[in-house]
Amino acid sequence: MAYYQPQQSVTTAMSDVSQEDPSEGFGPSRLGVRTTVDEPLSASQAIEVLQAGNRRFVQGDVKAGGLGPDMRRALASHGQRPVATVIGCADSRCPVEQLFDARPGDLFVLRNAGNTCTHAEGSMVGSVEYSVAILETKMILVLGHTGCGAIMGATKLFLERSTQKYIEMTCRKDAQESTDQSTEASESAQPPQPGCSKKKSTLLGLLDALVPVAEQACVELEGGSTEEIAAHAVKVNVWRTINFLLSYSLIIREKVASGEVELQGAVYNMSSGAVEFLGKSPKQEKLLNHDGHVVPSMGGLARQVS
């Protein structure tokens, strides 16, 4: 099947997905681009075309070019039927559609710094719910990436706070210091907190929400350099976002529990261009029994998900 060539029928198109060379396309499309006249792809089919698209990207054999007038009109007239929902980082070096060799209409993409849900006050979760409930995507992929600046920022903040806590403890134990000196040292060691810092910002809130990710990575590694902790935290953060979705979206949880939708993780390697697919969260089965259905606000219940 030629890439994005219109199909004769939906039945024929769907059968082509399992029989064709996966390197030949990004899912069937009767009108040359994916629209609501096409059937949704299953989770396994979606993963297959995502993997094939990334292989083309890595090999420099990309197929997704510009859209002609007919394709644009088809998208405008017939609505969207993307093959997957992807939550990625806003990093300009990680353009989700391009690294999967996808066209407009192929992917429902949500991006923010750190590919996280913890700071989004529900907008990310609500958007994912829209994609699975209305657009009928069966695959939700949370995509982290190497060298993530948001994760590095959170890691540095975590390590700064750890150092400050150590200094504070040392000062309190120092019997030679006067009470006034100890108090002054303790106050100066307080980490910046959202809501009370003179440098309060939403950015600090975002990094603050990611600090538990760095903390967990540090614990799992039993220490390490800032770079080592940040690198491991990228995967920890992917699981955290997935676990958050499972914990606080009844719609997603029910669809995953029924087997209709799959929620998987992946990490994009900026150097090689390859996406490492990580599969399902190790905590999925446990979280499917979670009873949460209201997304917590920033810095609140989000800390409880790990």
Name the binding residues for Zn(2+). 89, 91, 145, 148
**From residue 247, how far is each of 112, 142, 304 by CA, in Å?**
20, 15, 10
User: Whole-number minimum distance, CB 169 to Zn ion, in Å?
Assistant: 33
**From residue 305, how far is each of 41, 194, 202, 241 by CA, in Å?**
30, 19, 21, 9
User: Whole-number minimum distance, CB 90 to Zn ion, in Å?
Assistant: 7
Binding-site annotation: residue ranges: 89, 91, 145, 148
Phi, psi of 26 (to 5 degrees): -115, 45
CA distance 305 to 297: 13
Which of helix, strand or coil describes residue 34? coil
User: Whole-number minimum distance, CB 145 to Zn ion, in Å?
Assistant: 6
User: Whole-number minimum distance, CB 207 to Zn ion, in Å?
Assistant: 12
Fill in the per-residue mask, 127 to 156: x = in contact with Zn ion (CB under 5 A), - = not in contact: ---------------------x-x------
Q: Per CB under 5 A, which of residues 148..207 are in contact with Zn ion?
A: 148, 150
Which of 74/113 has CB closer to Zn ion?
A: 113
Which of 91/129 has CB closer to Zn ion?
A: 91
Q: Identify the residue whose tokens are 């993780």.
A: 265
Which of 150/218 has CB closer to Zn ion?
A: 150
* Ramachandran bin of 123, using left for φ above 0, alpha for ψ from -120 to 50, beta for the remaining angles: alpha
User: What is the token pair recorded at 294?
Assistant: 């209201």
Which of 74/94 has CB closer to Zn ion?
A: 94
Residue-by-residue DSSP string for 219-284: HHHTS--HHHHHHHHHHHHHHHHHHHHHHH-HHHHHHHHHTS-EEEEEEE-TTT-PEEEEEE-TTH
Pick the closest to residue 263 from 80, 98, 145, 131 (CA basis).
131
User: Whole-number minimum distance, CB 89 to Zn ion, in Å?
Assistant: 3
Which of 48/91 has CB closer to Zn ion?
A: 91
Fill in the per-residue mask, 89 to 128: x = in contact with Zn ion (CB under 5 A), - = not in contact: x-x-------------------------------------
- The distance of Cα 210 from the centroid of its chain, to the nearest Å, equals 13
CA distance 33 to 114: 30
User: Whole-number minimum distance, CB 97 to Zn ion, in Å?
Assistant: 16
Fill in the per-residue mask, 54 to 93: x = in contact with Zn ion (CB under 5 A), - = not in contact: -----------------------------------x-x--
Number of residues that bind Zn ion (CB under 5 A): 4
Count of beta carbons in the 10 Å neighbourhood of residue 31? 20
Which of 14/148 has CB closer to Zn ion?
A: 148
Interacting residue ranges for Zn ion, rule: CB under 5 A: 89, 91, 148, 150
